[in-house]
């Protein structure tokens, strides 16, 4: 499992910026080195274990990009159209029988290998056939037009997939284009997930009047799975230090990360901090993020722990900005920074300097057709509707003190967050 020394997260300040916190985590966690081999069909979302150099060029042979007629460059009509006798026919998957003869053209189809000596292809739409069946080619076509040279996409031997790449369908396409059947990937990161709180009941169990069903745990587990993790659902821990402590300690050795939600504030019934301190060490940083702070980070028996806040929106936002990069670092994945897209604000907002804020927004086309964002009308960090009705988050950096309509702001669509 991911082993960390107890003091590796020691830090000086009382309130850590998001970038500092994430920089610290990603620099200090030890990436998992255990590998496994998976079939291509099972590789989506997995982290590639090592670089893959192209075992063959792509395309593997020089071929026609269109349906048309192939000629030698020396024969390209210069000033006036010119008629060429037909010499050969090459279909996709077939091979030319002989080099193309000077002054001749060959019928060729998209994807078919170029006949030896032929270098340029005329699109069939651009030619006509004269009365004697010759192909009349227009002047002015550039040498090499409509041809896909071998290796133009990827030359043989070039590192085409990098170790640490989180595989998406397009990477799997590339591996298949190389003829690979299996890929070596990093084993799934094992994450233990707990909710904490006496007010919580698990869906499917009886709910007392003063209880609500635990929604965070299911949201977080779904997010973790999207990141390729293997999740242990460990249910709800009560707001009581010793049972919290033993619950956390029990799972530490068998997991790469422990994730909790709730109980990290400084209220009398927030026991996660004390529980972690009793069985490991805790570096609680009050992270300068809203919604969010506080977020706890600790180490139990060498296993990192992240304690997210209980309010669902805070839990969601801090997962994206703290847990996501941690999981990627544990998997040895290449960093995938979230880059907000500039859009026009159609709302007013006041903000405290010195912390980063995320505003839930709708993305719409404005009257002039430009994309703009409007704010969800209510503020509460507990409003699930604010997460599923909106389209994403506007990121307001530490230095920002407010937003005025018309201003450009950075938008993070939910679809790109996980
Ligand atoms: P806490 O961070 O423990 O003080 O929790 C803050 C608030 O978040 C609680 O009052 C609950 O309303 C809510 N909450 C905490 N944990 C969960 C959870 N697992 N699912 C849904 N809501 C939660
Ligand atoms: Mg609580």
Ligand nearest to the Cα of 238, by number: 2
The C-alpha atoms of residue 297 and residue 283 are separated, in whole angstroms, by: 5
Across 247-264, average pLDDT = 96
7 pLDDT above the threshold of 70: no
Q: Report pLDDT digits (tens) over 131-164.
A: 999 999 999 999 999 999 999 999 999 999 999 9
Query: Looking at the domain 63-148, which fold is it?
Result: Molybdopterin biosynthesis moeA protein; domain 3 (2.170.190)
**DSSP assignment string, 176-221:** HHTT--EEEEEPPPEEEEEEE-TTEE-TTS---TT-EE--HHHHHH
338 pLDDT above the threshold of 80: yes
Q: What percent of the chain shows pLDDT beyond 90?
A: 88
Residues with CB under 6 A from ligand 1: 195, 197, 199-200, 214-217, 261-263, 265, 309-312, 382
3-7, 44-48, 175-179: least confident range: 3-7
Q: Which CATH architecture has domain 39-58+152-185?
A: Alpha-Beta Complex (3.90)
Tokens of 268: 């009398």
Ranges for all domains in the chain classified under CATH 3.40.980.10: 18-34+188-330
CA of 262 to the centre of ligand 1 (A): 5
Report the atom number in ligand 1 closest to the C-alpha of 309.
2
Half-sphere exposure of 403 (CA within 13 A, CB side): 26
Q: Report pLDDT digits (tens) over 71-106.
A: 999 999 999 999 999 999 999 999 998 999 999 999
CA of 274 to the centre of ligand 1 (A): 18
Q: First and final CA of the chain: distance in angstroms?
A: 24
Ranges for all domains in the chain classified under CATH 3.90.105.10: 39-58+152-185
The C-alpha atoms of residue 386 and residue 24 are separated, in whole angstroms, by: 31
Residue in 188, 191, 322, 323 with CA at minimum distance from that of residue 251:
191
Residue nearest atom 14 of ligand 1, based on CA coordinates = 310
Q: How far is CA 78 from the centre of its chain?
A: 50
Cβ proximity of 197 and 240 under 8 Å: no
CATH class for the domain made up of 341-416? mainly beta
CA of 224 to the centre of ligand 2 (A): 22
Q: Report pLDDT digits (tens) over 170-198.
A: 999 999 999 999 999 999 999 999 999 99
Q: What is the pLDDT of residue 4?
A: 61
Q: What is the pLDDT of residue 22?
A: 85
Give the number of other Cβ atoms within 10 Å of residue 305's Cβ: 27
Q: Report pLDDT digits (tens) over 308-323.
A: 999 999 999 999 999 9
The C-alpha atoms of residue 119 and residue 63 are separated, in whole angstroms, by: 10
Output Rg (C-alpha) for the chain, integer angstroms.
30
13 pLDDT above the threshold of 70: no
Tokens of 405: 């309509």
Give this prediction's pTM. Answer: 0.92
CA of 313 to the centre of ligand 2 (A): 14
Cβ neighbours for 385, distance < 8 A, ≥ 6 positions apart: none
Q: What percent of the chain shows pLDDT beyond 70?
A: 96
CA of 312 to the centre of ligand 1 (A): 7
Cβ neighbours for 391, distance < 8 A, ≥ 6 positions apart: 361, 362, 363, 373, 413, 414
Residue nearest atom 16 of ligand 1, based on CA coordinates = 310
User: What are the C-alpha distances in Å from 254 to residues 56, 186, 238, 319, 381?
Assistant: 41, 17, 22, 21, 33
Residue nearest atom 15 of ligand 1, based on CA coordinates = 310
CATH number of 18-34+188-330: 3.40.980.10
Across 38-64, average pLDDT = 98
Tokens of 96: 């030319």
């Amino acid at each position: 499992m991911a082993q960390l020394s107890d003091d590796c997260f020691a830090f000086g300040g009382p309130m850590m910026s998001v970038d500092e916190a994430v920089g610290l985590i990603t620099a200090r966690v030890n990436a998992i080195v255990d590998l496994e081999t998976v079939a291509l069909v099972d590789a989506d979302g997995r982290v590639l274990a090592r670089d893959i150099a192209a075992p063959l060029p792509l395309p593997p042979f020089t071929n026609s990009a269109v349906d048309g007629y192939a000629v030698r460059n020396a024969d390209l009509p210069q000033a006036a159209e010119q008629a060429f006798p037909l010499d050969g026919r090459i279909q996709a998957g077939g091979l030319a029988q002989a080099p193309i003869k000077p002054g001749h053209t060959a019928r060729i189809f998209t994807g078919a290998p170029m006949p030896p000596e032929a270098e340029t292809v005329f699109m069939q739409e651009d030619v006509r056939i004269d009365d004697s069946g010759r192909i009349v080619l227009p002047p002015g076509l550039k040498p090499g037009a409509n041809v896909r040279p071998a290796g133009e996409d990827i030359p043989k031997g070039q590192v085409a997939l990098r170790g640490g790449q989180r595989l998406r369908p397009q990477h799997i396409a590339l591996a298949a284009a190389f003829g690979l059947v299996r890929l070596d990937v990093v084993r799934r990161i094992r994450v233990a997930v707990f909710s904490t709180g006496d007010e919580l009941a698990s869906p499917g169990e009886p709910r007392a009047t003063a209880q609500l069903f635990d929604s965070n745990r299911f949201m977080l587990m779904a997010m973790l799975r999207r990141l390729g993790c293997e999740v242990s659902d460990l249910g709800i821990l009560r707001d009581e230090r010793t049972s919290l402590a033993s619950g956390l300690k029990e799972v530490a050795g068998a997991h790469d990360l422990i994730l909790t939600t709730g109980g990290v504030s400084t209220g009398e019934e927030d026991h996660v901090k004390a529980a972690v301190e009793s069985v490991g060490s805790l570096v609680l940083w009050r992270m300068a993020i809203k919604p969010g702070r506080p977020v706890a980070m600790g180490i139990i028996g060498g296993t990192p722990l992240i304690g997210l806040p209980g309010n669902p929106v805070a839990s969601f936002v801090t997962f994206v900005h703290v847990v996501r990069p941690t999981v990627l670092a544990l998997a040895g994945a290449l960093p995938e920074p979230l880059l907000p897209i500039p859009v026009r604000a159609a709302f007013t907002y006041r903000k405290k300097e010195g912390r980063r804020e995320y505003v839930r927004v709708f993305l719409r086309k404005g009257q002039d057709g430009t994309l703009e964002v409007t704010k969800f009308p209510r503020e509460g960090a507990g409003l699930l509707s604010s997460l599923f009705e909106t389209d994403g988050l506007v990121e307001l950096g530490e230095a920002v003190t407010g937003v005025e309509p018309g201003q450009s702001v950075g938008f993070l669509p939910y679809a790109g967050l996980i």
